[in-house]
Each structure stands twice: as C-alpha cells, then as structure tokens.
Amino acid sequence: MNEGLRERLGEMLEQVSGFIYPNEIEIHWSILIVVYPYLTGLVAGAFILASLVKVFNAEDVRPTYRLSLLTALAFLLIAPLPLQFHLAQPLRAYEIFLTPNLTSDMAMFGFVYAWYLMGVLLLELWFEYRRDLVVWARQEAFPMSFIHRALSLFSTDTSEPALAFDRKAIKVITVIGIPSAFLLHGYVGFIFGSVKANPWWGSVLMPIVFLMSAIVSGIALVMFLYMILTPLRGEPIDMRCLDKLASYLFYAVIVDFSLEALDFIHRLYQSEESIHILGTLIANKLFMSLFVIQILLGMLLPVAIMVAVKSFSLSAELRKLLYFTAIILIQLGIFATRWNVVIGGQLFSKSFRGLTTYKMEVVGIEGLITALVLLALPFVVLLILLKVLPPWRKAEA
C-alpha cells in the first residue's frame, strides 16, 4: 500500500472525534470535487447573464454579452478536468459515455455536457461571430485569415437575410440555452441532493441553491473580467453597464441567500435525527468556512456594500472600487459554499456519531496545486479565446 496514503489515514485516525464507521476515515471527494461545481457554476452563471441580453433585451449589459459567452466556453472546456483527475481509474472514463448506467444521475454527465457544449454554447457563439469571422478573414493575412475562415466553417454569406437568420438562430438557441444552463448546474446539484444516505446533501432544494449560487458567481466573474479587461484595453468602463450588472448581482445574492436560509431554517425546524451531528459539524468543523467566509464575507458584506452604493450617490471611481471588493468577496463566498457542501458533507459519519477531518494534499494529483492550476486554466483558455475571437472588435463590412 502507498506509504503516503497510509501515513495520511493514520494521522486522520488521530483526528476523529466520536465514532465513525471505519471505512469513513478516507475522504473520497477531495478539493477537485469542490473545484468542479465551482467551475460549472461559473459557466451556467455567465451564460445566463449573456441570455439576459438576448432574451430579455437587457441593453445596458450588452457590452458584456460576448465576453460572457466566451467566459462560459473557457470554463466549460476545463470543467470536466477535475472530474477526470479525480477518478481512481482515469483511463476508464470513456465508459461513462459508451455504456452509461441509465439509473445513475452521474452517468448523465456526458449527455448534459455534450448537449450544453455543442447544442448550445458553440452554436450560439458561431451564429454570433459568423459575420465578423467572414469579414475578418477577408481583411487579414495568413494564418489568422485561415483560422477565422475555418472557425466560420468556410461560410461566406454576409447578406442581410443571412444575418437576419443568424439573429433569429441566436434568439432560439438562447431560449433553449437557459433551461440547458439550468440543467447543467441543476444536475450538479442533483448529484449531491439525491444522496439519501447523507443528510447534509440530501435536499430537494440542492439543485436550486446550486443554480442561484451559480448565477451569483457567474455575474460576479463577468463583472470582474469586464473591470480588468476594459482598462487594459485603454477603454473607459461603461458605468451604466456596471451598475446594471451590480444590480442583477444584488438581486441574485438576495435570492440565493433566502434559499439557503430557507434550507437552514427548514432543517432546524424539522429537527430530524441528523440535526445534532449537523449542528456539531457547523459549529466545530465549518465555522470558519460557513459562518465567516460564506455568510459574513461572501454574502452579508457584499450585500451591505451594494446597498450602500444604491443608497448614496457615490462617485464612479468609488463605486468601481466597492464593486470590485464585493465581487472578490462573492467569489470567495461561492467557493466556500462549494467547499462546505462537498467537504462538509464528508466530515461527519453516517452513523451520526462522530466527525472526521479533511487533510488536503498539497502536491498530489488531488492536491492543492492541481486545484489551483485547474482554477487558473480557464483564464488561460479565455485569453486564447479573446485573441482569436475578440469580443469588442466589431468587423467593419
């Protein structure tokens, strides 16, 4: 047996308080499984923000439309990696696509992912960029001309009826895309919410809570990117757009907070068998990550900031600073939310009699460094996407 594992489990044995089933000493879903719902949440959130522009004609946030789509794509491309790295038999991953067990919610991953990537996101991006790709390809030199021509799938038509069709297609795809984004992240919530063995996870609200927190994190991420990228390009930040984004964010956080509060109160009031161990869990093991980071820093403080911005007429510079602080805190809070669900759900015994500890590896395949790399990778992908498909460059016909 692997010496490192033996040592780690031996140390954890010392950390157990109360009684746990002996097989529960190993925490099976590591930080990579925290990263996975965090990434897919950002995908779903960014896409839903983009949809607001197309479906609900939210003109104020139009400057972030293409950026949102590209962000969703960049994060979606990386989202399966933490799962892949987490598998104990990574070379057998293909089995989930070839011979899925139809009673398994996890087996739906391949279908949900493929549908969202190819049926929604790539299709919408193609219709959105098609005209620009055609025009860019005509104006540019090799190799960019070829890349853009290939990305346009060698289409050449920029006539008005063709463009009208593009617009119509985008609208249809977006309408299909919203439930698809809900499906993508709701599905991730369902993976946890459907586990009846685990009272911390098993809740019908889980998919909805996941979804709302996804919208929160997605909007916050696009705001973050918009606030970083626009000054880098030497352009002024459109304050109307930023205020509107902050406003959406504010309402999303309120709904998210209410749902989580409902879940919490419901558990407390129902006071089932598991309530004692869950109480001990949040008081002992999750105090910092739940009360301090998720609720206080990740929700209440950003809400207070946004209330302050709404209440007083502050200068644009000060607003930017406050928004920036709020969105960083929100990202931290949402990451803590994922942590509290995934890791928190494994820190108590299903005998409801004891708690264990998660000792994170640093360098291993399921360690901190891998997690950080996986969190950074989508930004690298996004950088490439921004180079190839600049969202702010409208082609002159």
Partner 1 sequence: MDQDKRDLLKGLILFIPAGGVIGALAKAVAAPAAAAGKEASARPETPGYDPTNHYYGMGIEVGKCIGCNRCVEACKQENDVPREPFFFRTWVERYVIKKDRSVVVETVGLKKEKRKEVVDQEDTLRSFFIPKLCNHCANPPCVQVCPVDATWSTEDGAVLVDKNRCIGCRYCIQACPYGARYLHPETRTADKCTFCYHRVVKGLLPACVEVCPTQARIFGDLKSQASRLVRFERMNKIHVLKPDLNTQPKVYYSGLDGEVR
Residue from 163, 328, 350, 357 binding partner 1 (CB under 8 A): 350
State the minimum distance, in angstroms, from the CB of residue 389 to partner 1: 19
To the nearest 10 degrees (0 to 180), the angle between helices 160-193 and 122-139 is: 140
To the nearest 10 degrees (0 to 180), the angle between helices 239-270 and 301-311 is: 140
Interface of this chain with partner 1, residues 158 to 177, rule: CB under 8 A:
159, 161-162, 165
Cα dihedral 164, 165, 171, 173, rounded to 10, equals: -160
State the minimum distance, in angstroms, from the CB of residue 339 to partner 1: 16
- The reply on whether position 105 binds partner 1 by CB under 8 A is yes
Closest Cα partner for 77 from 128, 31, 40? 40
Name the segment binding partner 1 (CB under 8 A); options: 1-9, 71-79, 292-300, 303-311: 1-9
164-190 exposure pattern, b = at least 16 Cβ within 10 A, e = fewer: eebeebbeebbeebbebbbbbbbbbbb
- The reply on whether position 103 binds partner 1 by CB under 8 A is yes
Residue from 57, 141, 143, 153 binding partner 1 (CB under 8 A): 153
Beta-bridge mates of residue 355:
17, 348
Q: How many residues touch partner 1 (CB under 8 A)?
A: 60
**Using CB under 8 A as the criterion, what x/- string covers residues 185-204 for binding partner 1?**
------x--xxxxx------
- Omega within 30 of 0 (cis) for the link into 90: no
Gap between the Cα atoms of 264 and 86, Å rounded: 30
Residue from 15, 19, 59, 150 binding partner 1 (CB under 8 A): 19
Residue bearing tokens 């290939």: 150
State the minimum distance, in angstroms, from the CB of residue 351 to partner 1: 5
- The reply on whether position 360 binds partner 1 by CB under 8 A is no
Supply the DSSP symbol for 363: S
| Tokens read off for 386 | 């921004």
Whether residue 212 contacts residue 259, with contact meaning beta carbons closer than 8 Å, is answered with yes
- The reply on whether position 270 binds partner 1 by CB under 8 A is no
State the minimum distance, in angstroms, from the CB of residue 144 to partner 1: 22
Quick one: how many helices (H) and strands (E) in the chain? 15, 2
State the minimum distance, in angstroms, from the CB of residue 67 to partner 1: 26
Closest Cα partner for 173 from 232, 242, 126, 138? 126
Residue 102 or 232 having the CB closest to partner 1: 102
What is the contact surface with partner 1 in residues (CB under 8 A)? 1-2, 5-6, 9, 13, 18-26, 28-29, 83, 86-90, 92-93, 95-101, 103-107, 109, 114, 119, 153, 155-157, 159, 161-162, 165, 191, 194-198, 346, 349-353
